[in-house]
């Protein structure tokens, strides 16, 4: 069945192996922002995991990468995927832990309340792990964009090195949002970039791009809940994406025009 040949753990392993074979060196988001490597002789890949739900899959992805000597950055939502034991275990594999904030949506646009929520939730994460980078949650069902928070406040005010959206631009960027790499269903998950990239839908096409690209950097966003190794979990995630994509296309796409 063709429907289950993509967005599986086996396919994710193929994607990781393609990065390794193409000599891309994985970097944590905060390490990249600290050094901003520019040497044309080195290939760099940034792998970002947005843990929106299904924390068990986040652990599976973290273990898979650990076995392949890949390090990446995991951003957890509070309280939805805030699990101290799992976060500490993923950290023990060498991965970076970050905060997946959605404070503008939670505060319904009130910037002062959003700031209070941000400080409180960031402290919860820092009670169990060092956190030097953050990443907004898209909150597609909210009319408020979490991206706007750091248009008002400064990263330095929270001892943060970078934000995964605000601090990284002009790099080839691909996200699995909507179960496609084409950004067709991405409400807010896109970067300002001068790179002209092909429209890629399937992971096999992304693997082919990685294997042949002349770019020395790429940036991938992976939602672990989407990548499953059981038929039941796969179709559960597939159904969720299908319903979500229909909702975005019919009701929410006009929001993109306001971004």
Tens of pLDDT, residues 165-179: 999 988 999 999 888
Res. 118 pLDDT band, cuts 50 70 90: very high
pTM of the model: 0.88
**Distance, C-alpha 84 to centroid of its chain:** 20
What separation in angstroms does the CA of 17 have from each of 14, 24, 52? 5, 10, 25
Q: Where are the domains of the chain?
A: 2-258
137 φ, ψ (degrees, to nearest 5): -90, 140
Res. 235 pLDDT band, cuts 50 70 90: low
Tens of pLDDT, residues 34-93: 986 555 568 999 999 999 999 999 999 999 999 999 999 999 999 999 999 999 999 999
Task: State the average pLDDT over residues 236-249.
Answer: 51
What separation in angstroms does the CA of 186 have from each of 76, 83, 183, 221, 226? 19, 27, 5, 12, 15
The CATH fold assigned to 2-258 is: TIM Barrel (3.20.20)
Secondary structure string (H, E, C) spanning 73-127: EEEECCCCCCCHHHHHHHHHCCCEEEEEECHHHHCCCCHHHHHHHHHHHHHHHHC
What separation in angstroms does the CA of 20 have from each of 43, 50, 71, 76? 10, 22, 12, 26
Three-class SS state of 25: strand
**pLDDT above 70 (res 234):** no
**Distance, C-alpha 32 to centroid of its chain:** 15
Closest CA to 191 of 215, 152, 164: 164
Cα 43 from Cα 24, distance rounded (Å): 5
């Amino acid at each position: 069945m063709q429907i289950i040949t993509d967005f599986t753990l086996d396919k994710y392993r193929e994607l990781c192996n393609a990065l390794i074979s193409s000599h891309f060196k994985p970097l944590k988001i905060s390490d990249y922002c600290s050094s901003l490597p520019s040497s044309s002789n080195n290939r760099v890949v940034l792998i970002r995991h947005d843990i929106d739900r299904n924390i068990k899959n986040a652990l599976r992805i973290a273990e898979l990468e650990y076995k392949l000597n890949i390090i990446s950055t995991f951003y957890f939502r509070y309280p939805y995927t805030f699990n101290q034991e799992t976060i500490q275990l993923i950290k023990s594999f060498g991965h970076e832990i970050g905060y997946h904030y959605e404070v503008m949506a939670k505060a319904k646009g009130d910037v002062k309340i959003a700031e209070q929520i941000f400080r409180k939730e960031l402290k919860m994460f820092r009670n169990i792990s060092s956190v030097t980078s953050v990443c907004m949650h898209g909150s597609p069902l909210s009319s408020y964009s979490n991206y706007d928070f750091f248009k008002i406040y400064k990263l330095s005010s929270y001892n943060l090195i970078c934000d995964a959206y605000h601090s990284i631009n002009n790099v080839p960027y691909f996200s699995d949002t909507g179960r496609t790499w084409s950004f067709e269903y991405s409400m807010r998950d896109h970067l300002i970039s001068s790179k002209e990239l092909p429209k890629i839908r399937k992971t096999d096409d992304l693997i082919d791009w990685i294997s042949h690209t002349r770019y020395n950097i790429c940036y991938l966003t992976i939602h672990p809940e989407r990548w499953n190794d059981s038929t039941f979990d796969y179709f559960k995630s597939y159904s969720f994406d299908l319903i979500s994509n229909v909702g975005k296309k019919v009701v929410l796409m006009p929001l993109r025009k306001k971004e």
